[in-house]
Amino acid sequence: MRKILLFTGFTFLTLLTVSCKKKTSTPKAEGESVQQVADGVSKGKTEAFYSYKRSYVTEDYALYHDNHGRLQIFDTESKTDIVYCFNAGCEHQQAKRDPVTNEVIQKGCIAYEISSDCVMLRENDMVFFQDNGQVIRADRQGENRRMIAIIPLYKLGFREVFYSADTLFISYYTDNRFEEIKGENGQTQWINTGELSDTRECGIYCVNLSDGTVKELFQADAYNAMISCADIWDGHLYFKYFYSDIPAIGPNLETYGRDVEIPEGLTVENYWEEMPKHFWMDVYDYHIATGELKPILRNCREGTLEFCRGFFAVAETDGTTGLYRYSGERFRELPFRIGKGIRSDSGLVCCDEKAMDEYLLIDENTGEIIKRTKISSSKFLAGVIIGKSVYGSLAIPGEGMGLGYISTEDFWNGDLTNAVAFQVQ
């Protein structure tokens, strides 16, 4: 049951947008501020990055697209967001095109032209995806672009991006049914049939940013299949592969437009009890340098506490929670059953299944609880902790939930007074 809710939550929150009115700075100050925030990149934290809810988040700043499609940069120090544009006089307008020829007659703001799910800033440049699957490298101003790779299954959209050792790891999944056709130039194209596939396709691509090679390191097609990149640690990528042995069925036994059979014995009455028994998880270890891929856990029944600095935890069928090393060795049992895990670089952070509004920081060596804080999940749902920054879903009164920020200190104090929603105008 938990897993079903989790999947639904992912989709739901990704679609949600939030409107938060905030004072904006002057255009001139904006250009300078963007430069300052972007310069912060070279201070460090450039070895491994990951995306969160289609945003690119670091300890110092976050890059995301507002609901106008403009790229914004959120500075965690000043807690303000600024249009990602270095042109001091820019009014941040979209390009004007000739209605007949579609030619650009007036150049638009750069913040509109980087219109992908993932944008990463690196020390000297930026890397982003175009919606057509191209991986582009450009300077920090978004100029001097060149294509370095194409993701072949661009039809799928992106779910999560990890970066390490000049390699991008892009996980995806799709519920759509595609037909593969050969284009006139001999290239393969995919046509979305508009139908849902009974199973779901998921996988991970890795893109070498140095030589542009693209490799699919994992691919699966199963009921409710989904990948979650877990961590990059010591030259390895760890990821979780979720799937079920029955099709996606809702609490009222709806099949979501799919032509699938309701599993025998499943009823509206026993749905919540029976469904979780059909969901599984495998954990994989991919060695980036050698390309070796191996499972380290198979057929786990429940979710994990997020991976952290060489450790992760799994709630197990016997009612305990096992603490594991990345090697797959179970070496400790936690004194409670985990409900959910938070991606964190500062220790194992999770919630007790019996107290989902309470976050616990666990010492990975002793298994002891170091810190705890209570935050109502209807106000803030923590998603990722990076150094002094916590990102998650923040409730805006009357407007639903959207991506938000809180300092790690405030988070552990359970104090949402200074929480900030990302700017969506």
Does 288 help bind Zn ion (rule: CB under 5 A)? no
The residue (of 85 and 161) whose beta carbon lies closer to Zn ion is: 85
Q: Convert the chain into a string of H (helix), E (strand) and C (coil).
A: CHHHHHHHHHHHHHHCCCCCCCCCCCHHHHHHHHHHHHHHHHHCCCCEEEEECCEEECCCEEEEECCCCCEEEEECCCCEEEECCCCCCCCCCCCEECCCCCCEEECCCHHHHCCCCCEEECCCCEEEECCCCEEEEECCCCCCCEEEEECCCHHHCCCEEEEECCEEEEEEEEEEEEEEEECCCCCEEEEEEEEEEEEEEEEEEEEECCCCCEEEEEEEEEEEEEEEEEEEECCEEEEEEEEECCCCCCCCCCCCCCCCCCCCCCCCCCHHHHHHHHEEEEEEEEECCCCCEEEEEEEECCCEEEEECCEEEEECCCCCEEEEECCCCEEEEECCCEEEEEEECCCEEEEECCEEEEEEEECCCCCCEEEEEECCCCCEEEEEEECCEEEEEEEECCCEEEEEEEEHHHHHHCCCCCCEECCCC
- Within 314-373, which residues bind Zn ion (CB under 5 A)? none
Does 115 help bind Zn ion (rule: CB under 5 A)? no
Q: Tell me how far, at minimum, the Cβ of 83 lies from Zn ion, in Å.
A: 6
The span of 8-16, 81-89, 176-184, 360-368 binding Zn ion (CB under 5 A) equals 81-89
The span of 83-91, 158-166, 209-217, 288-296 binding Zn ion (CB under 5 A) equals 83-91
Q: Which two tokens stand for residue 129?
A: 């995806």
The span of 106-114, 126-134, 200-208, 241-249 binding Zn ion (CB under 5 A) equals 106-114
Does 85 help bind Zn ion (rule: CB under 5 A)? yes
The residue (of 57 and 85) whose beta carbon lies closer to Zn ion is: 85
Per-residue binding string, Zn ion, 13-52, x by CB under 5 A, is: ----------------------------------------
The residue (of 82 and 381) whose beta carbon lies closer to Zn ion is: 82
CB atoms within 10 A of CB 201: 20
The residue (of 96 and 298) whose beta carbon lies closer to Zn ion is: 96
Q: Tell me how far, at minimum, the Cβ of 27 lies from Zn ion, in Å.
A: 8
Phi, psi of 78, rounded to the nearest 5 degrees: -90, -10
The span of 104-112, 213-221, 314-322, 397-405 binding Zn ion (CB under 5 A) equals 104-112
Q: Tell me how far, at minimum, the Cβ of 93 lies from Zn ion, in Å.
A: 8
Q: Tell me how far, at minimum, the Cβ of 115 lies from Zn ion, in Å.
A: 14
Taking CA atoms, 74 is separated from 38, 60, 79, 83, in Å, by: 10, 9, 7, 9
Q: Tell me how far, at minimum, the Cβ of 90 lies from Zn ion, in Å.
A: 3
The residue (of 109 and 385) whose beta carbon lies closer to Zn ion is: 109
The residue (of 71 and 338) whose beta carbon lies closer to Zn ion is: 71
By rule CB under 5 A, what count of residues binds Zn ion? 4
Does 92 help bind Zn ion (rule: CB under 5 A)? yes
The residue (of 133 and 142) whose beta carbon lies closer to Zn ion is: 142
Q: Tell me how far, at minimum, the Cβ of 87 lies from Zn ion, in Å.
A: 5
The residue (of 96 and 287) whose beta carbon lies closer to Zn ion is: 96
Task: Select from 38, 63, 82, 109 the one that contacts Zn ion (CB under 5 A).
Answer: 109
The span of 109-117, 127-135, 212-220, 391-399 binding Zn ion (CB under 5 A) equals 109-117
The residue (of 50 and 112) whose beta carbon lies closer to Zn ion is: 112
CA distance 352 to 357: 9
Q: Tell me how far, at minimum, the Cβ of 97 lies from Zn ion, in Å.
A: 17
Q: Which residue has the tokens 């995301």?
A: 64
Does 90 help bind Zn ion (rule: CB under 5 A)? yes
Where do contacts with Zn ion occur on this chain (CB under 5 A)? 85, 90, 92, 109
